[in-house]
A and B are shown apart, each in its own frame.
Chain A
Amino acid sequence: MKSEKVSLFIPCIVDQVYPEMGFAMARVLRRCGYDVSYDPRQTCCGQPAFNAGHWDQALSVAEVFVDVFKDAGCIVGPSGSCTAMVRNYYPRLFESHPKRETATRLGENIFEFTEFLVRENKLDRIRGSWKGRAGYHMSCHSLRELRLGDEGLRILKRIDGCEVVEPAGEHVCCGFGGVFSVKHEAIAETMGGARLAQFRALGVDVVVANDPGCILHMRQETAARDERLPILHLVEFLDQAMDRASDGYMEQCAGGPRC
Chain B
Amino acid sequence: MLTLTEHGGFRKRAAAKARDPVHHEVIAKAIASYEKAFEQTRAAQFTNWQQARDLAAGIKDEVLARLPEYLEQFERNATAQGARVLWAEDADQARRHVVDIAREHGARLAVKSKSMATEEIDLNETLQRRGIEVLESDLGELIVQLAGEKPYHIVTPAMHRTKAEIAALFHEKLGVDLDADPQGLTMAARRHLRQAFTQADVGITGANFLLAEEGAVVMVENEGNGRLTMACPRVHVVVAGIEKILPRLSDLALFLPLLATSGTAQAMTCYASIVRGPRQPDEADGPQRMVIILLDNGRSRLLSSPLFRQSLRCIRCGACLNACPVFRTIGGHAYHTTYPGPIGSVITPHLRGMGRWRHLADASSLCGACTDVCPVRIDLHQLLLANRREAVRGGKAGWFWPAAMKLWAWAMRDRGRLARLRDWGILFERLGRGALPAAKRRRVPRLSRKTFAQLWEKNEQSR
Number of A-B contacts defined by CB within 8 Å: 181
Any A CB within 8 A of the CB of B413: yes
Complex partner residue of B14 from A51, A173, A187, A216, CB under 8 angstroms? A187
Give CA–CA (A191, B356) in the complex, Å: 26
Complex partner residue of B413 from A18, A23, A61, CB under 8 angstroms? A61
Any A CB within 8 A of the CB of B323: yes
Give CA–CA (A178, B388) in the complex, Å: 14
Give CA–CA (A139, B456) in the complex, Å: 27
Closest to B425 in A: A16
Q: Known: A52-B405, A187-B15. Is A43-B418 also a contact (CB below 8 A)?
A: yes
Stretch at the interface among B45-53, B246-254, B359-367: B359-367
A226 cross-chain contacts in B, Cβ below 8 A: 442
Contact across chains for B455 and A19 when beta carbons are under 8 A apart: yes
Give CA–CA (A184, B388) in the complex, Å: 15
Within 8 A of B (CB), among A21-37: 22-23
Complex partner residue of A183 from B325, B362, B366, B385, CB under 8 angstroms? B362
Tell me, rounded to whole Å, the shortest Cβ–Cβ distance linking B390 to chain A: 8
A172 cross-chain contacts in B, Cβ below 8 A: 325, 369
Give CA–CA (A224, B389) in the complex, Å: 33
Contact across chains for A17 and B388 when beta carbons are under 8 A apart: no
Instruction: Please encode chain A, from 134 to 158, with 1 for each CB lying within 8 Å of some chain B CB and 0 for all others.
Output: 0000001101110000000000000
B361 cross-chain contacts in A, Cβ below 8 A: 53
B173 cross-chain contacts in A, Cβ below 8 A: none
Contact across chains for B365 and A254 when beta carbons are under 8 A apart: no
A12 cross-chain contacts in B, Cβ below 8 A: 412
Contact across chains for A17 and B448 when beta carbons are under 8 A apart: yes
Complex partner residue of A186 from B14, B415, B447, B456, CB under 8 angstroms? B14
Most A C-beta atoms less than 10 A away, residue of B385, B388, B456: B456
B389 cross-chain contacts in A, Cβ below 8 A: 53, 55
A43 cross-chain contacts in B, Cβ below 8 A: 411-415, 418
Give CA–CA (A58, B456) in the complex, Å: 26
Complex partner residue of B405 from A49, A171, A223, A224, CB under 8 angstroms? A49
Contact across chains for A52 and B401 when beta carbons are under 8 A apart: yes
Any A CB within 8 A of the CB of B265: no
Contact across chains for A16 and B455 when beta carbons are under 8 A apart: no
Any A CB within 8 A of the CB of B326: yes
Interface of A is mostly: helix
Contact across chains for A224 and B442 when beta carbons are under 8 A apart: yes
Give CA–CA (A226, B459) in the complex, Å: 33
Tell me, rounded to whole Å, the shortest Cβ–Cβ distance linking B154 to chain A: 20
Interface size on A, residues (CB 8 A): 67
Complex partner residue of B325 from A55, A175, A189, A220, CB under 8 angstroms? A175
A51 cross-chain contacts in B, Cβ below 8 A: 366, 385, 388
Give CA–CA (A14, B448) in the complex, Å: 9
Any A CB within 8 A of the CB of B446: yes
Instruction: Please encode chain B, from 11 to 36, with 1 for each CB lying within 8 Å of some chain A CB and 0 for all others.
Output: 10011001100001000100010011
Q: Known: A57-B408, A187-B14, A220-B445. Is A19-B452 also a contact (CB below 8 A)?
A: yes
B35 cross-chain contacts in A, Cβ below 8 A: 169-170
Give CA–CA (A223, B446) in the complex, Å: 12
Any B CB within 8 A of the CB of A10: yes
Give CA–CA (A51, B364) in the complex, Å: 10
Give CA–CA (A51, B392) in the complex, Å: 11
Any A CB within 8 A of the CB of B406: yes
Give CA–CA (A171, B367) in the complex, Å: 10
Any B CB within 8 A of the CB of A54: yes
Any A CB within 8 A of the CB of B270: no
A143 cross-chain contacts in B, Cβ below 8 A: 368
Complex partner residue of B415 from A41, A219, A257, CB under 8 angstroms? A41
Instruction: Please encode chain A, from 31 to 70, with 1 for each CB lying within 8 Å of some chain B CB and 0 for all others.
Output: 0000000101101101011011111011011011000000
A53 cross-chain contacts in B, Cβ below 8 A: 361, 385, 387-393, 397
Give CA–CA (A173, B363) in the complex, Å: 13
Any B CB within 8 A of the CB of A162: no
Any A CB within 8 A of the CB of B283: no
Instruction: Provide 26 A-B residue pairs closer than 8 Å at the C-beta atoms, listed in order of the A residue.
Output: A19-B451, A19-B455, A23-B459, A40-B415, A43-B413, A44-B412, A46-B412, A49-B409, A51-B366, A52-B401, A52-B405, A53-B387, A55-B389, A57-B405, A61-B412, A144-B369, A144-B371, A175-B365, A176-B365, A179-B362, A184-B362, A186-B14, A221-B443, A224-B439, A256-B459, A257-B455
Give 14 new A-B contacts, CB below 8 A, not counting A63-B413, A169-B36: A40-B457, A43-B414, A46-B412, A51-B366, A52-B405, A53-B387, A53-B390, A60-B409, A178-B365, A189-B18, A194-B329, A219-B445, A254-B462, A256-B459
9 tightest CB-CB pairs across the interface, nearest first?
A: A177-B365, A53-B388, A186-B15, A57-B409, A173-B367, A144-B368, A19-B452, A140-B367, A53-B392
